[in-house]
Amino acid sequence: MFLQTAFNRNEQQAMTEYCSVEKVVELAENEFNLLKNNTMESMSFIAEHAEMMHKDETGISRCVLFLHQNHDEGIIVNSEGTSYAKNFSYLPKARTLLLADESFTLQQFMKSMLSIRNDIIAKAIDDQDEGVFRIDLDEIHKFYKPKILSPTLLHEMLCDRIEFATVEFDDEEFIMRLSEEYAMHEEDVPYRGLTKEEIDVMVAKHILWLYDEPGGEQADFSGCYVSNYDFSYRSLNSAIMNNAKFVNCNFTSTELCFANAEYSKFVECSLIRMTGEEMNCKGTKFKGCNLFSSMMTHSNFTDALFSRCVVGSASMTNSCIENTKWNHTSYEDVSFGNYSEDEQEWLDESENESMGMSF
């Protein structure tokens, strides 16, 4: 290898300091040679960028890299606001270093984009609704916090995947329709539809059942499809809700203690201040729901999914959250005191506590 460099002679150590290249300026051969051979001379191309060259409050030198237009060499300058190279360092392979740095930045960018794409694919398959998954740019920025994001490139990267039949992007939201191989449609699940009148009767009979009154009957929503019903402020304690689907229903301040809701779906439902102590929500999916300040202590959330939900100030104390997924759901404010991530261990402990209380 053959190159030009600058040597320090008889120095005890190599003196270095941190610097940041704020701008890269290409110089013609005559200008570069002028700078190289006359560093103390005032030059217009240095004066033009003088304001950005200084040492900041952290001690880092903010510099300009002047590159030879036709060669690899360069000179890094901190003029400290002057028009001459007051502080400079000759870099024999400056262009190569610059390209290597840009290549690393590009690699980091692509790594970030691939990670976001792969996570969106996984969430789309798991969190689809009738073979459709939606995610907007605000969600992507909030949950992935990318330093640089190219929505157009992300759109193209998603379009290339076999998991999606189509991917639409309208500058705000991505709408993905999964291919048949990955789509899950509700017609595959034999839900039983209920009219408002049937639900009214079921809820009324359940109240009688709770109070052991004549004509009472435990509410059983198993396998049912319920939409746009207002359950707010009702008591549905011990109701059976397994494998049911509730869409746009209002459960505000509803009592659901001891309710069984295994493998059910709650879509765009309000469960604000809902009380669901000792609720069974194993495999249950909450999509686009508001569970603000809900009380769900001593409950089983094994394999449950919370997607695009509001769960602030909710309580899941003494609950089981084994393999619980939180897709685009900020759960930092949820109370998880004494939680378990082992369902069998949690069930055994709950059984032992029940046996202890019976004596």
pLDDT tens digits for range 172-218:
899 999 998 898 776 556 788 999 999 999 999 999 999 999 999 99
Q: Considering the entire predicted model, what is its pTM? A: 0.60
271 vs 289: CA distance, rounded Å: 7
Reply yes or no on whether the pLDDT at 359 is more than 50: no
pLDDT band at 98 (very low <50, low <70, confident <90, very high): confident
What's residue 147's pLDDT?
Answer: 86
Render pLDDT for 135-179 as a digit per residue (tens, 0 to 9): 989 889 988 989 889 999 999 999 999 999 999 999 889 999 999
What confidence category does residue 355 fall into, taking pLDDT thresholds of 50, 70 and 90?
Answer: low
For the domain made up of 190-359, give the CATH fold.
Pectate Lyase C-like (2.160.20)
Q: Which residue has the higher pLDDT, 282 or 349?
A: 282
**pLDDT of 183:** 87
Where b means 16+ CB within 10 Å and e means fewer, 47-86 reads: eebbeebebeeeeebbbbbbbbeeebbbbbbbbeeebbbb
For residue 303, pLDDT beyond 80: yes
Tell me the CA distances in angstroms from 198 to 195, 205, 261, 268, one per residue in order: 5, 11, 19, 22
List pLDDT tens digits, range 33-66: 999 999 999 999 999 999 999 999 989 999 999 9
149 neighbors 155 (Cβ within 8 angstroms): no
What is the arithmetic mean of pLDDT over 220-237?
96
Q: Which residues contact 329 (CB under 8 A, 6 or more apart)?
A: 306, 307, 308, 309, 310, 311
Res 219: pLDDT: 97
Find the DSSP H helices in 128-181.
Answer: 137-144, 151-159
Q: How far apart are CA 231 and CA 221, in angstroms?
A: 13
Give the pLDDT mean for 320-330.
91
Task: Give tens-digit pLDDT for 99-112.
Answer: 888 777 788 888 99
- Provide the pLDDT for residue 14: 80
| pLDDT value of residue 234 | 96
What is residue 73's predicted lDDT score, i.e. its pLDDT? 93
CA quadruple 316, 321, 324, 328: dihedral sign? positive
Please give the pLDDT value at position 17.
Answer: 87
CA 235, chain centre distance (Å): 35
What's the pLDDT score for residue 261? 97
Please state the domain extents for the chain.
Answer: 19-92, 101-178, 190-359
What was the pLDDT predicted at 187? 54
- Token duo for residue 340: 């378990």
Q: What is the average pLDDT across 108-131?
A: 89
CA of 88: how far to CAs of 77, 169, 201, 217, 326, in Å?
4, 48, 85, 87, 52
Instruction: Kindly tell me if the per-residue pLDDT of 96 is higher than 50.
Output: yes
State the DSSP code for 319. Answer: -
- What pLDDT score does 3 carry? 67
Q: Above pLDDT 90, what percent of the chain?
A: 71
Q: How confident is the model at residue 263 (pLDDT cuts 50, 70, 90)?
A: very high
Distance CA 277, CA 297 (A): 5
